[in-house]
Structure 1
Amino acid sequence: MDVLAIGAPAEEATLAALLRCCVREVAGPRGLVWPAPPYVLLRVAGTLLRARTHGGAALRLDGPPERLEGGSWQPLTVAELVRLAETDLAGRPDEHARQGRGAGAAHLVVEPNGEFAGQVTASMDAVAAILAARARAEPPADPWLASEQALVYGHPFHPTPKARDGADWLRYAPEAHAAFPLRLLAVRDDALAEEGDLTALDALGPAPAGHRLLPAHPWQLDLLRPAFGPELVDLGPGPLAVPTSSVRTVYVPDAEVCLKFSLDVRITNCVRKNAWYELAGAVELTSRLAPLIAEVAARHPAVRWLPEPGYRTARGQREGLGVIVRASPWTACDPGVTPVLAAALALDAAPADPLAWWTAYVSAVALPVVDLYFSHGVVLEPHLQNVLVGLDAAGRPVQAIFRDLEGVKLVAGRHDLGGLHPAVAGALTHDPARGWARVVYCLFVNHLTEIAATLAGPDDELLRALWRAARDLLARQAAELGQPLPLRDLLAGAPLPAKANLRVRWARAADRSAGYVPIANPLA
């Protein structure tokens, strides 16, 4: 893990993340990155920068980045790198708009961004506040929840990984070990909108006659300030909830269920609200995926998933108060298996035999994702925060639990969606190229690259051995699947698509508009 992250000041962690973005999205696409072991050199806005790194594409930093000035290397600060990035991004709008496009991505019109520096500073200040709050708080005893709350520094390739709106966000922050009571509302039957199995919601408490229980996130209620009356009644505090890594999804220990709420708050790139078509889509996907995952599990017995069997909301606040029920990971794991967030393993994984551990990890996590795409036209979104890894008593990865159906898509032409509302069907669909790019980015760039870097540390030979083992597993799977061309290209060394988080934030665009930039493929 970065010496600039674990236990380091917020400025150093922010500098490391922004520098990685500049390598990947600013200097890299122009050929302005050069390996000069033990350094990586790059040029941003005409200034030469360098940093000691390891971990391949993960760009783990081994010391403070520097800039060349007057013939000598000087320490680089966040403010200086922000100015350089702003100059570079603002100076070539046409090039950045063109390069920002990726498979299925919208064209980004890039204009000067007067908000960018303030957002970087706000994210850095949030990290400092989180560090201070964690020093005063007790982590959860549940090892899964402790892993959910471990992501102090956020996405390693995002310029503002902890950007959050609102004054009260720390009260609800998983990284600060927050826990809080839900608010329980009652919705009159004729003002209700719901679908699917909602047994878990009805078990949270009693509702007045003619009403149904609707839990609400207290932060969202403060933001919405809905009108209470006969149709919507405030019943007061409910059971304790513990936020997971996504902030808006919580676990309710007393009910052993996860609940995904809407939050009208921008977290990193997006306002985290359940769109009405996403509510319906979660229930639809739960029904469609059950037989497909069961079929794949016959070949990959480690695969698990968390269904989202129902949603409930009030008609007058369909999106603002919508809540999706999600199964608990403890119900998905076999006895004796402990779920741990993959993103937490990317921070700290030190098995005695890293090559054997990695082989088991790739077999459990990667192979079913690839199988689902080619066998059934299902696009999972297996990034580090959407995958829980089941560890046995010895700490070996024996199961992979996939969650969050919002990012799951169906490949166009492979599924009959004729009976669905057009908006629901459209939100559930990707064309094949866009779907495969999403799988490759989430699985290989966001996920496996980070896990491999943590396992290998500064040992480059071990890192190469890990990727050789992954390639062998995928090559065998390619043969079993009939050598599909996209998988053959991947194994032949085609560049990997890396999501352009810096560019989409600079463009002030929706996250769904983010394109990709090519990076080197470690499977080559």
Structure 2
Amino acid sequence: MTSVAKKQANIASFQAFFNAYIKEIDSGVWHTKEDWVIRTGIQLQPNDNYAVELYLTSTNTRLSISASYRSTVGRHAFTAVFKQLPNSFQWEEVSLMNAILLLIDEIYSGSKESHEPNDAVDEQSLELYARTIESHQIMALYLENRAGDPDLASNKFIDSEQAILFGHWLHPTPKSRQGMHRWQHELFTPELKGQFRLHYFAAKQDITLSNSAESISAFEILEEIVLSDGKDSTKTLIEKLRKDNLKLLALHPLQADWLCAKPHIQDLINKGELIQLGELGPLFTPTSSVRTLYNAELNYMVKLSIPVKVTNSLRKNMHHELEAGVTLCRLLQRCGFSRLYPKFKFIDDPAYISLNAGASKESGFELILRKNPFNSKNEITGLGGTQSIAALVQEPLAPGTYSRLAKIIQMLAQKEGEECADVALTWFDNYLDCAIEPAIRLFDQCGIALEAHQQNSLLDLSEGYPTAYYYRDNQGFYLSKERQQILETMEPRLAQCDDLFYGEQMIINRFTYYLFFNQLFAVINRLGADQLVQEGTLLQKVYTRLNSILPTLGSLGTAFVTSVLGREKLPFKANLLTRVEDVDELEAEDELAVYVWVTNPFKSVAVRSDTPSLVCKQASELEEVIADAC
């Protein structure tokens, strides 16, 4: 492994872990560069402006973490770590990965103070060590293999999906892929541009499940996908299956290997109820989620279960999500929101296929068919293509270069003969128009909130400026119980999807995290870190925009906006604490991870502004009620 790739992985891994640590566990004490030099004698690097001081109680050790950028809303940029041992005046530099291990020790030390054996804590700490080290090693592997690849700068949809080499900047182990062997990464990961065929089975229709909101059945869609390979042998096979009244099922190859080792699946195969056909059809390549697969010539993507833990969860399609995807597709068509707000679009999951598992619900064969608006017939790359916000805001992959977002703004500025700062402000206004305001109005008018985090959120940047927003993910819909009767009248099948409905306070908390902390603040942070516009200026712009739309909102929208602007602290999804407690959020009750409360960045804006009395009054009334929802 090259020293460059290892160094990049060291820095990115520490950034991810320590940003989570100071947000969720111990915020430390911030010092200016000048103050810290006087206090400690530590000479910071020329680009470092701050130092964060931490005290580790388990070892009586002080840490000094140098920072080149301090963010109001999101990700700080850290560069080096020093430690001072007990009864010592000397500070010594610590490697970034060793610093992470020190912090993990500190996290679990409180649980070990009784000195009593605690197998659960030991298991959790070992799990976090393992995922941290694995994430670092995998990230370094990706960086080394993709170094110099021109596709990293491509604006094609799939190239941007496969360029997120550093991973989720709000997750402490962003490239953890437990369950995937090292040699399998080349075949199956987006970062290494894997390509493979699906593994197919055939079964009698009476032991399968399917539904479709399209004009043709899910089985017909899957047959069209298989036949797209153009082979005569495939055509002959499909004709025989039709003649024998057998239906196609498809699995990710990793899932096929895992399931075929299960006794009950072997039993079905031995009885002839499940026929193994092997690898067929066209090649697919993974998008950023690893398990949603893309082919540039097809009208659909496929979303499959895999026996792999990606970040917090084992990635599998849940039984209840299958019908929910079809029902939500119909609901969104009938509610007409996209006709009112044509810049705000949904990537539907309109069909599914599975093997009937009976009482156990999930069979492992759950396949979701997702619309593909970015196939070769429809994709327009233009200046910036269509990219996820996760790709746009990722740290530059090479030192001394620029983020994807900064490059787009620089190109626009050059094209228009304008200052980058002015272009960035215009770009940000367009982004609010496409992505943020419509999401709030969707909740207000329809009672539908979205898990609109940066990976689920895509922007059409073919003109450079955002012209459309796309939302993807049938797992990420929160429907208001207060609007349940109205929504069920609009789409009666929602009566069978009760787990899509949540109380207002629960939705406000989750929606606050996903729309603001995960998505909007990531954009603000990127523009600030790239020195295009100060974060405070952008926060003020959002604050003004939200206050301007407040009089036009109904009860749900008003409750949400006043909560976001008026509360002293806001709910924040604690990915590190979720990992510390080894929670699989998709298996947890209500699929709820661990949340903490953090300082509201808008309060710094409110101090400088004339805060509407409505915001202050309603926020204070909501404060105690909403706090209970986390």
Structural mapping, 1:272-421, within 5 Å = 272-292=315-335, 294-295=336-337, 297-298=339-340, 300-316=341-357, 318-330=362-374, 338-347=385-394, 348=403, 349-350=405-406, 351=409, 352=413, 353-393=423-463, 395-416=464-485
SS in 2 for 1:385: coil
Deviates more, 1:129-138 or 1:370-379: 129-138
SS in 1 for 2:187: helix
- Structure 1 residue aligned with 2:537: 465
Which residue identity lines up with residue 286 of structure 1 in the other structure? C
Aligned-residue offset at 1:20: 0.8
C-alpha distance 503-62 of structure 1, shift in aligned 2 (>3 A): closer
Q: Unpaired segments of 5 or more residues in structure 2?
A: 34-48, 113-119, 228-234, 395-402, 414-422, 586-590, 604-630
Aligned-residue offset at 1:172: 0.6
Which residue identity lines up with residue 362 of structure 1 in the other structure? L
SS in 1 for 2:102: helix
Match of 1:478 among 550, 557, 560: 550
Aligned-residue offset at 1:509: 1.3
- Structure 2 residue aligned with 1:102: none
C-alpha distance 291-176 of structure 1, shift in aligned 2 (>3 A): same
Query: How many angstroms apart in 2 are the aligned matches of 1:473 and 1:138?
Result: 39
- Structure 2 residue aligned with 1:429: 501
Deviations 1:229-280 (A, max 9, x none): 4533315322111100000001122323111101121111101111111111
- Tell me if the contact between 1:203 and 1:255 (Cα under 8 Å) persists in the aligned partners: no
- Structure 1 residue aligned with 2:581: 507
Query: How many angstroms apart in 1 are the aligned matches of 2:24 and 2:535?
Result: 23
Q: Say whether residues 1:177 and 2:173 are aligned partners.
A: no
C-alpha distance 231-485 of structure 1, shift in aligned 2 (>3 A): closer
Aligned-residue offset at 1:421: 9.0
Which residue identity lines up with residue 370 of structure 1 in the other structure? I
Which residue identity lines up with residue 522 of structure 1 in the other structure? P
Query: How many angstroms apart in 2 are the aligned matches of 1:138 and 1:318?
Result: 41
Deviations 1:455-496 (A, max 9, x none): 122649622111111222222222210571331232235423
Q: Say whether residues 1:45 and 2:61 are aligned partners.
A: no
Deviates more, 1:199-208 or 1:501-510: 199-208
- Tell me if the contact between 2:6 and 2:140 (Cα under 8 Å) persists in the aligned partners: no
- Tell me if the contact between 2:190 and 2:288 (Cα under 8 Å) persists in the aligned partners: yes
C-alpha distance 256-68 of structure 1, shift in aligned 2 (>3 A): farther
Aligned-residue offset at 1:213: 2.5
Aligned-residue offset at 1:334: 9.0
Structure with greater helix share of residues: 2
Q: Say whether residues 1:143 and 2:156 are aligned partners.
A: yes
SS in 2 for 1:415: helix
Deviates more, 1:54-63 or 1:232-241: 54-63
Structural mapping, 1:20-419, within 5 Å = 20-28=19-27, 32-34=28-30, 36=32, 38-46=49-57, 47-52=62-67, 53-61=69-77, 63-69=79-85, 70-92=88-110, 113-135=125-147, 139=151, 143-164=156-177, 165-167=179-181, 168-196=184-212, 197=214, 198=218, 199-204=220-225, 205=227, 206=235, 207=238, 208=241, 209=243, 210-225=245-260, 226-227=265-266, 228=269, 229-292=272-335, 294-295=336-337, 297-298=339-340, 300-316=341-357, 318-330=362-374, 338-347=385-394, 348=403, 349-350=405-406, 351=409, 352=413, 353-393=423-463, 395-416=464-485
Aligned-residue offset at 1:78: 4.0
Match of 2:525 among 453, 459, 474: 453
C-alpha distance 44-436 of structure 1, shift in aligned 2 (>3 A): farther
C-alpha distance 188-499 of structure 1, shift in aligned 2 (>3 A): same
Aligned-residue offset at 1:93: 5.0
Aligned-residue offset at 1:41: 1.5
Which residue identity lines up with residue 162 of structure 2 in the other structure? Q
SS in 2 for 1:304: strand
C-alpha distance 404-458 of structure 1, shift in aligned 2 (>3 A): closer
- Tell me if the contact between 1:27 and 1:42 (Cα under 8 Å) persists in the aligned partners: no
C-alpha distance 421-446 of structure 1, shift in aligned 2 (>3 A): closer
Query: How many angstroms apart in 2 are the aligned matches of 1:142 and 1:186?
Result: 38
Query: How many angstroms apart in 1 are the aligned matches of 2:392 and 2:131?
Result: 28
Aligned-residue offset at 1:327: 0.7
- Tell me if the contact between 1:296 and 1:368 (Cα under 8 Å) persists in the aligned partners: no
For the pair shown, the structure with the greater C-alpha radius of gyration is 2
SS in 2 for 1:166: coil
SS in 2 for 1:219: helix
CA-based RMSD of the aligned residues comes to: 3.0
Deviations 1:129-167 (A, max 9, x none): 212332487749771111111111112232211111221
The answer to which structure, 1 or 2, has the higher relative contact order (CA under 8 A, 6+ apart) is 1
- Tell me if the contact between 1:15 and 1:77 (Cα under 8 Å) persists in the aligned partners: no
Which residue identity lines up with residue 515 of structure 1 in the other structure? V
Aligned-residue offset at 1:68: 4.0
Deviations 1:264-297 (A, max 9, x none): 21111101111111111111111122233x3364
